[in-house]
Structure 1
Amino acid sequence: MAAPVIVEATVKQTATLIFMHGLGDTGHGWSSALAAIRPPFMKVICPTAPTQPVSLNAGFRMPSWFDLKTLDIGGPEDEPGIQSARDSVHGMIQKEISAGIPANRIVLGGFSQGGALALYSALTYDQPLAGVVALSCWLPLHKQFPGAKVNSDDVPIFQAHGDYDPVVPYKFGQLSASLLKSFMKNVTFKTYSGLSHSSSDDEMDDVKDIISKWTQWDSQNMARKAMLPVIVVATSASCSEGSFLKSSKSKLLSLVRTSRAARELYFSNYFVHTHDEVG
């Protein structure tokens, strides 16, 4: 397998998105779009599938996570190939955990065949993840579920599909979502009217919002932690040692106003900086 495309976080990394491309694509096909919408504290990993023959395409060799034998939802599937690809994804998750990112701060995502792999990998991983973004895809080896699920039923899943998809029929996405909802508690299925087998600005905006929602605690906590030194500087500059307890009511109010101003200035700078990094 080729080396993954990695987009590093622009501030201290506290979360990771691992996103798998579709059949015949590479990690480069999604890295720029995802870099533009991820939070600044999120590292993006876009691996490239190994090149192998694909039965559906007359044995032609191309990047593929596993062999595709048919587009019939009830047709034969490449179970060994799917499980091997799943093991590779689990290895990437474990590498991030070893680097200090907990499983519940790791988002799996993918488009088409990559989205199918993301779903299967998340459901069969033994620790709860931050969530799964599954675009224009299906649940592979669906007859194994819910029995094959080893993960928590609380892991959020955002599944999106265009209703004009000629490659992975919209009905496949609907059926997969219905099955997922039967044993997972937090499944969202969103339809994009007129969208074919591709993404759109509206869909990417929704992906941006959902991964920010799943990881927003960290950005808020990071802001609170970073705010503390600013307040300490403001308070120490506003009163001499021991004078705090002796301050008059007016001085205390002045001190509070100073701290509040410092706090507001910090948040103003923080959000401007964040916008610049993302946009």
Structure 2
Amino acid sequence: MTHTPILPTVEIETGANPTHAVIWLHGLGADGHDFEPVVDAFDEAALPPTRFVFPHAPTRPVTINGGYVMRAWYDIVSQDFSARREDPEGVHQSAAQIEALIARENARGIPDANIVLAGFSQGGAIALHTALRHPKRLAGVLALSTYLPLADTLAAEASDANRDVPIFMAHGRDDGVIPHDFALKSFAQLKQAGYPIAWQTYFVEHGIVMEEVRDIEQWLGTVLVR
């Protein structure tokens, strides 16, 4: 069995002896520090003691950026949203790395049922991909400004344990990186497949706004049950 190294991470704990965890993946070209300010904006009293884990993606060449090496969860091989854009090998590698982070939280005393996978853009794609195939029930999936990668393989690979995992998808109406309507197709596919999924649109481009932060906080409060 191949050992998957643990990615370097940034961690924030909202209380002593965390009982819950949120593993939150950044977008293309960013790093684990990107969403630290969001935790600062949360009302910690609204959540149980939670460890927020922000991994740094590995660096790799990204085809659509002229092969420039940057932090990326997978290569994006095409700008064409009507074709497969994501590199399957990269998706699978990143999913294995996120599984290793889940296992580390288990080893630190946090069960799968108390773990949310979250992510923005590329990170959200990996969160969705990994969670829906994870063999044990998770607390939820937070998918921001993103889409479902390798969508054609989900039906065959989906884990029965997470067929009822709560999913919160949010997207900017004016997103010029991942078009709003393209993300809506992922939402529709997941809803059609029976997942309990919520969708919210915000007046923003490829980013998040404070209204969205408040909605995320409220949603986390419902899935991170004390």
Scaled by the length of structure 1, the TM-score of the pair is 0.74
* Preserved CA contact (<8 Å) 1:164 1:195: yes
The 1:185/1:75 distance shift into structure 2, 3 A limit, reads: closer
Structure 2 counterpart of 1:66, which letter?
Y
> Which position in structure 1 is the counterpart of 2:3?
none
> Which one of the candidate residues 61, 65, 74 is aligned to 2:82?
74
Aligned match of 1:189:
199
Classify 1:202/1:5 alpha carbon distance in 2 versus 1 (closer, same or farther; 3 Å): same
CA distance in 1, matches of 2:90, 2:7: 17
Corresponding letter in the other structure for 2:29? G
SS at structure 1 position matched to 2:35: helix
Q: How far apart are residue 67 of structure 1 and its match?
A: 0.4
Q: Using the alignment, how far apart are the partners of 1:196 and 1:118 within structure 2?
A: 21
Question: SS state of the match for residue 189, structure 1?
Answer: strand
Is the counterpart of residue 118 in structure 1 residue 119 in structure 2? no
Residue 183 (structure 2) aligns with: 173
Q: Name the structure 1 match of 2:137.
A: 128
- Tell me the alpha carbon deviations over residues 167-215 of structure 1, each in whole angstroms, 9 at most, x when there is no partner: 00001110000001122331001111x3100000000111000011112
Deviations 1:40-95 (A, max 9, x none): 50000000111110001010111001101123233233111100000000110011
Aligned partner of 2:201: which letter?
Answer: T
1:2–1:127 CA distance, 2 compared to 1 (3 A):
closer
Report the number of matched residues: 216
The gaps in structure 1 that reach 5 residues or longer are 219-279
Relative contact order, higher structure (CA 8 A, sep 6+)? 2
- Return structure 1 stretches of 4+ with deviation > 6 angstroms: none
Could you tell me which of 20, 23, 29 is aligned with 2:28? 23
Quick check: 1:35–1:44 contact (8 Å CA) kept in 2? Answer: no
Sequence identity of aligned pairs in percent? 35
Instruction: Tell me which moved more, 163-172 or 179-188.
Output: 179-188
* Greater alpha carbon shift after TM alignment, 71-80 vs 108-117: 71-80
Q: Which amino acid aligns with 1:160?
A: A
CA contact (8 A) 1:163 1:196 kept: yes
Aligned partner of 2:100 among 91, 110, 121: 91
Question: TM-score, with normalisation over the residues of structure 2?
Answer: 0.91
- Written as runs of structure 1 = structure 2, the 5 A alignment for 1:171-250 is 171-192=181-202, 194-216=203-225, 218=226
How far is 1:107 from its partner? 0.4
Contact residue 155 and residue 184 of structure 1 kept, 8 A? no
Distance, in Å, in 2 between the alignment partners of 1:148 and 1:113 is: 20
What is the aligned partner in structure 2 of residue 6 from structure 1?
Answer: 11
Pair 1:32-2:41 in alignment: no
Specify the SS of the correspondent of 1:23.
coil
* TM-aligned CA deviation for residue 141 of structure 1: 0.3
Select which of 111, 115, 118 maps to 1:102.
111
